């Protein structure tokens, strides 16, 4: 098995090099996205308590009503661009974007940053992590 692998590498050096470059680029991309502008549940709590951060929940209304962070504003991701003006009054405050699992909030963070919001963060792990950490949720 290993002999076949070495033989393949020797016979197809360009293909192997291209694969390794794509793999390296993907790893760098994932590392940057996971670390970039993300805050943990405890960091989010500190931002909320110390700097009066605004929490924007981008899940749909049903998920929001089932349980959300106290004081969060529900602006579904699909409507963020049209409802961004609702956040103009709090533009200078930290904004924490929350989704279900922390995967889709990056797009909302990028949209808000592009619109000129200086301090926008995503909640790493989203509401799933918030609840797993035993932090309180409000149900409507």
pLDDT, residue 36, reads 58
The DSSP line for 10-57 is HH-HHHHHHHHHHHHHHHHHHHHHHHTTEE-HHHHHHHHHHH-PEEEE
pLDDT, residue 16, reads 93
pLDDT, residue 33, reads 63
User: Is there a contact between 39 and 123 (Cβ–Cβ < 8 Å)?
Assistant: yes
Tens-digit pLDDT profile for residues 3-52: 998 999 999 999 999 999 999 998 887 776 665 568 999 999 999 999 99
Tens-digit pLDDT profile for residues 51-81: 999 999 999 999 999 999 999 999 999 999 9
35 is catalytic: no
Tens-digit pLDDT profile for residues 68-125: 999 999 999 999 999 999 999 999 999 999 999 888 888 899 899 999 999 999 999 9
pLDDT, residue 35, reads 54
Q: What's the CA gap between 61 and 72, in Å, rounded?
A: 12
Q: Which of 54, 84, 99, 120 is catalytic?
A: 99
């Amino acid at each position: 098995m290993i002999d076949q692998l070495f033989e393949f590498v020797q016979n197809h050096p360009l293909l192997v090099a291209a694969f390794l470059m794509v793999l390296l680029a993907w790893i760098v991309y994932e590392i940057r996205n996971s670390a970039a502008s993300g805050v943990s549940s405890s960091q989010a709590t500190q931002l909320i308590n110390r700097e009066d951060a605004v929490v924007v929940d981008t899940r749909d209304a049903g998920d929001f009503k089932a349980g959300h962070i106290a004081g969060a504003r529900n602006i579904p991701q699909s409507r963020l661009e049209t409802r961004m003006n609702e956040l103009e009054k709090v533009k200078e405050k930290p904004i924490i974007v929350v989704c279900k699992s922390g995967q889709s909030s990056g797009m909302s963070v990028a949209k808000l940053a592009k619109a000129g919001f200086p301090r926008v963060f995503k909640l790493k792990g989203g509401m799933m992590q918030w609840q797993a950490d035993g932090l309180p949720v409000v149900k409507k």
